[in-house]
Structure formats: structure tokens, C-alpha cells
């Protein structure tokens, strides 16, 4: 895929990251569980590569805050900025190094999700210390993993299916 196509697809995925939260935004608990902004960013990394995934992941929460006031910039928007940038980077970087089989798509996705949540935890710890907020291992596990189980399952179902479908219709060179 040439750079123009990657830029267009990245722009579409950025727009999708702005729109998907409206589907769950009326009930914040559902939005927190389904993590709708994660999906377009992860797809961007897989389909367009790590530079695009990193940039889209970094700017999506900030842009959404400045356009719509959500997520709140501090602390959630800042945390999501680093988490989503990590998702976009890791998914694009690893996927570029492997043959796009279904099992490797899953492995890449799981590694990306774990890395993003680790970065979220580190950033949360730093921000909690700066803002004098409570943050513990139990809070981290609850927010990063337990609360997000529905979103994790949804991502594990949808993202590999989309990436695999695109990969089965085209060679890896077309995806890249």
C-alpha cells in the first residue's frame, strides 16, 4: 500500500475513533468496558504500519477531547494518549515483522494489548504521583484488565477477523 493510501486509511480510522465512542458515550460504564477508541488505532497499526498507528493513537484522544470535550484531558485523555500510541506502534511494528497468519495476528494483538496496558499503568502511576491521587496494583488490575474484559473480548473477535479478511484478499505487500 503506498503512502497516500495509508494516509487516507489512517484518516478514516482516526475519524472512526472519533465516532465509535458516540455509540457507547451515553452510558460511560459501557464505554469504559468496550474501549471503542482502541479498535481503530489497533487496526491502523496492523493495516498501515507503526508510524501511522503511533501517530493516530497519540492524537486520537487529544483530538476527541478538543472537538467533543471527551475523554476528560486529565487524567483519562493523557493516559489514553500514551496507551493508544503504544497500541498503534506495537501492533504495526510486530505485524510488519511476521507473516500475516491468523495465529500471528492474535499473538501480535495480545502483545499490543498487554504493552498498551503496561504503558497505561506506568503513566497512571506517574500521573497519580504528580496529581496526588490514589493508585495501587489493585486499582491498576481492576481498571486495566477486569473492567475492560468485554472490550478485550470484542477486540479479540473483531480485529483479527478484519485484518485476516483483508490479508486473505490481498498479499502482505498490499497490506503494507
Is it true that domain 3-175 has CATH number 1.10.1760.20?
yes
Residue ranges of domains in the chain: 3-175
The answer to whether the CB of 42 falls within 8 A of the CB of 157 is no
pLDDT of 36-84, one tens digit each? 899 999 999 999 999 999 999 999 999 999 999 988 999 999 999 999 9
Say yes or no to pLDDT of 169 above 70. no
pLDDT of 65-74, one tens digit each? 999 998 899 9
- Mean pLDDT for 5-9 is 95
* H helices present in the chain, as ranges: 3-24, 28-34, 38-48, 50-68, 78-97, 102-131, 137-141, 149-169, 172-175
Query: For position 66, what pLDDT does the model report?
Result: 96
Amino acid at each position: 500500500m503506498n503512502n497516500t493510501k495509508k494516509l487516507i486509511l489512517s484518516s478514516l480510522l482516526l475519524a472512526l475513533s472519533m465516532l465509535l465512542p458516540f455509540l457507547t458515550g451515553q452510558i460511560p460504564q459501557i464505554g469504559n468496558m468496550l474501549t471503542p477508541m482502541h479498535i481503530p488505532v489497533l487496526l491502523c497499526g496492523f493495516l498501515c504500519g507503526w508510524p501511522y498507528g503511533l501517530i493516530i493513537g497519540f492524537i486520537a484522544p487529544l483530538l476527541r477531547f478538543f472537538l467533543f470535550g471527551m475523554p476528560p484531558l486529565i487524567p483519562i485523555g493523557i493516559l489514553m494518549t500514551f496507551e493508544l500510541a503504544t497500541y498503534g506502534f506495537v501492533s504495526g511494528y510486530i505485524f510488519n515483522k511476521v507473516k500475516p497468519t491468523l495465529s500471528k495476528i492474535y499473538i501480535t494483538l495480545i502483545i499490543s494489548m498487554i504493552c498498551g496496558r503496561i504503558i497505561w499503568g506506568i503513566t497512571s502511576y506517574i500521573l497519580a504521583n504528580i496529581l496526588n491521587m490514589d493508585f495501587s496494583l489493585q486499582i491498576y488490575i481492576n481498571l486495566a484488565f477486569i473492567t475492560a474484559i468485554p472490550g478485550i473480548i470484542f477486540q479479540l473477535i473483531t480485529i483479527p477477523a478484519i485484518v485476516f479478511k483483508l490479508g486473505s484478499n490481498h498479499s502482505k505487500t498490499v497490506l503494507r
